[in-house]
Amino acid sequence: MDPQSLRKGPTKPTLVLLCCVGTWLAICCPSFGAPTASMIKTIVELLKLESKELYEDYLKKDAVGVPTDESLQLPCFTLGFEASTNISIIQAYLETAKRLSDNRADTANVTKRLDDIRCSNPPKPSIYEPEDFYARKIFTLTVLKRFSDCMAELKVKDRIC
């Protein structure tokens, strides 16, 4: 066998297996396993509903006629161990939007719910914060819209592990 190919590290299926035998199994599989898969489903259903409400409320209340920022892209995710990094980034954006909107966009509940579908706790990135009042509205509206679009697309399989 070519020794070079051995050094490339595990292929994707092996990685998943290693995760499930180790950390993922210990931390995530109990909560993603069959008995509680319906719980994850419920959390995701709530997230879909609440993210849409947050966006529509903020739009109506504080951002009529405010455009979204096409250059501001949030990551999206599919459920599983690898989603944790993206979920952390989304949480950092949601927390920033809450602060920059003076709590007018109250993202505390959805941010907390995202904790429940995350397998690990990667460091949160620092987010660029606009200074200007109007730019902050654009930021907040865009974050809420991207988040609710992402939740609308999110599907839950019957078995994640």
Ligand X SMILES: *[C@@H]1O[C@H](CO)[C@@H](O)[C@H](O)[C@H]1NC(C)=O
Contacting positions for ligand X (CB under 6 A): 75-78, 82-83, 86, 106, 109
Q: How far is the CB of 109 from ligand X (least distance, A)?
A: 4
* Residue 94 vs 131, nearer CB to ligand X: 94
Give 4: exposed, middle or buried? Use CB within 10 Å, 0-12, 13-18, 19+: exposed
Q: What is the 3-state secondary structure (H, E, C) of 1-53?
A: CCHHHHCCCCCHHHHHHHHHHCHHHHHHHHHHCHHHHHHHHHHHHHHHHHHHH
CB 121 within 8 A of CB 39: no
d(C-alpha 51, C-alpha 120), whole Å: 22
Nearer to ligand X, 17 or 134 (CB): 17
Which whole-number Å values give the CA distances from 122 to 32, 81, 86, 114, in the listed order? 19, 11, 9, 13
C-beta nearest to ligand X: residue: 75
CB of 94 to ligand X, least distance (A): 12
Is 41 or 112 the residue whose CB approaches ligand X more closely?
112
Residue 100 C-beta: closest distance to ligand X, Å: 16
Q: For the CB of residue 3, give the shortest distance to ligand X in the complex, in Å.
A: 31
52 token code pair:
């849409």
Query: Residue 82 Cβ, how far from ligand X at the closest point, in Å?
Result: 4
* Cβ-based nearer residue to ligand X, 83 or 100: 83
The nearer residue to ligand X, 121 or 134, going by C-beta atoms, is 121
